[in-house]
């Protein structure tokens, strides 16, 4: 009988490099919401792929960056950064995602956090020096002159001893299978930690809150206040219908007006889009009730953050 392999893989990178899009492409279904807004991913989310004798447990994390502005140092951001860095502490493999032809100061800073042996500063949370790192270069489909890609990859290769460098386009599905193959080769021998048909560790209740938050991002665009979140107050799964009540939390009365829109039109539009996606995902009719509440400076309130599931 073939021995089974199983392990945890942290997906790290700065905001908007395509970490969540990559995870969804690997799994072949949506477990992590995506948008063009930075910090779309706010929680640690597991995506589980079992294939043959290998079970790969991916840990999607919030985008990492150096806090510079005062707003970036609030309790919400500190919690997200701690969640992302915490993923380094006990994984078998690290996937570092960098964007094709776009290398920024934050990329260098993250690399120093996970660097395993080229003389840079070690992680402040003591990442094991033996943890292998795969470099994923994302969004290669957006590179117009492909001849520019090889010198860029060569330059990145000099930054540390990556076990593999994989160019991908998660949206197009390019390179995703190659990445999965590289990951499977590096997993330790272990029994499977999850049932073979399990895709994520998150509940339908959590997914409902994320879908509403995704639609807020999509329909509000540049008007979307950063300090906005969604909390599921009630989730009742009945025989033929799922009843969901969701609270949208903002920090100012003016933000509440933006979310609701003229005559409630914007909130209705957001709710309709969220309901349709939830019905498709849950396979049932969904009754979705949304309301908006103002709580000043909630993003700097540790009690509220813990209530909303942010790790302390």
- What does the DSSP assignment read for 38-93? TT---S-EEEEEEETTEEEEEEE-PPP----SGGGGSHHHHHHHHHHHHTTTT-SE
The pLDDT value given to residue 125: 38
Give pTM, 2 decimals: 0.86
Residue 120 in tokens: 């840079």
**β-pair type (45-51, 54-60):** antiparallel
The pLDDT value given to residue 306: 87
Q: How far is CA 69 from CA 37, 65, 111, in A?
A: 17, 11, 21
H or E stretch covering 101? none
The pLDDT value given to residue 303: 87
Find all residues with CB under 8 Å of 279, minimum gap 6, and list them.
285, 286
The pLDDT value given to residue 81: 84
Find all residues with CB under 8 Å of 56, minimum gap 6, and list them.
6, 7, 9, 26, 48, 49, 50, 180, 183, 184, 187
The pLDDT value given to residue 291: 95
Nearest-angstrom CA–CA distance, 222 and 36: 10
In this prediction, the residues of the chain whose per-residue pLDDT falls under 70 are 1, 67-73, 116-129, 311-312
- From the list 96, 69, 124, 71, the residue with the least C-alpha distance to 183 is 96
The pLDDT value given to residue 82: 85
- From the list 3, 59, 2, the residue with the least C-alpha distance to 188 is 3
Domains, the chain, in order of start with CATH, read 5-186 (3.40.50.300), 204-307 (3.30.300.20)
The pLDDT value given to residue 72: 58
The pLDDT value given to residue 124: 39
Nearest-angstrom CA–CA distance, 208 and 206: 5
The pLDDT value given to residue 246: 97
């Amino acid at each position: 009988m073939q021995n089974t392999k199983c392990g945890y893989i942290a997906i790290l990178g700065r905001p908007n490099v395509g970490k969540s899009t990559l995870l969804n492409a690997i799994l072949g279904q949506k477990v992590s919401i995506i948008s063009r807004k930075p910090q779309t991913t706010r929680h640690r989310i597991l995506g589980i792929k079992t294939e043959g004798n290998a079970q790969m447990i991916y840990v999607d994390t919030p985008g990492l960056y150096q806090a510079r502005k005062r707003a970036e140092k609030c309790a919400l951001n500190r919690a997200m950064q701690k969640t992302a860095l915490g993923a380094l502490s006990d994984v078998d493999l690290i996937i570092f995602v960098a964007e094709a032809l776009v290398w920024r100061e934050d990329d260098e800073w993250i690399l120093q956090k996970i660097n395993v042996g080229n003389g840079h500063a070690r992680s402040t949370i003591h990442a094991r020096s033996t943890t292998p790192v795969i470099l994923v270069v994302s969004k290669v489909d957006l590179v117009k002159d492909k001849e520019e890609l090889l010198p860029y990859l060569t330059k990145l290769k000099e930054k540390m001893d990556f076990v593999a460098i994989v160019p991908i386009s998660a949206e197009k599905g390019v390179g995703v299978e190659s990445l999965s193959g590289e990951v499977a080769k590096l997993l330790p021998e272990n029994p499977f930690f999850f049932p073979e048909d399990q895709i994520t560790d998150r509940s339908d209740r959590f997914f409902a809150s994320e879908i509403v938050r995704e639609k807020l991002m999509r329909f509000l665009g540049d008007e979307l206040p950063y300090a906005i979140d969604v909390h599921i107050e009630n989730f009742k799964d009945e025989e033929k219908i799922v009843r969901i009540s969701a609270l949208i939390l903002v920090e100012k009365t003016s933000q509440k007006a933006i979310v609701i829109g003229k005559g409630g039109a914007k909130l209705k539009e957001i709710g309709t889009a969220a309901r349709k996606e939830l019905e498709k995902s849950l396979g049932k009719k969904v009754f979705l009730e949304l309301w908006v509440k103002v709580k000043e400076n909630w993003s700097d309130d540790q009690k509220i953050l813990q209530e909303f599931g942010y790790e302390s």
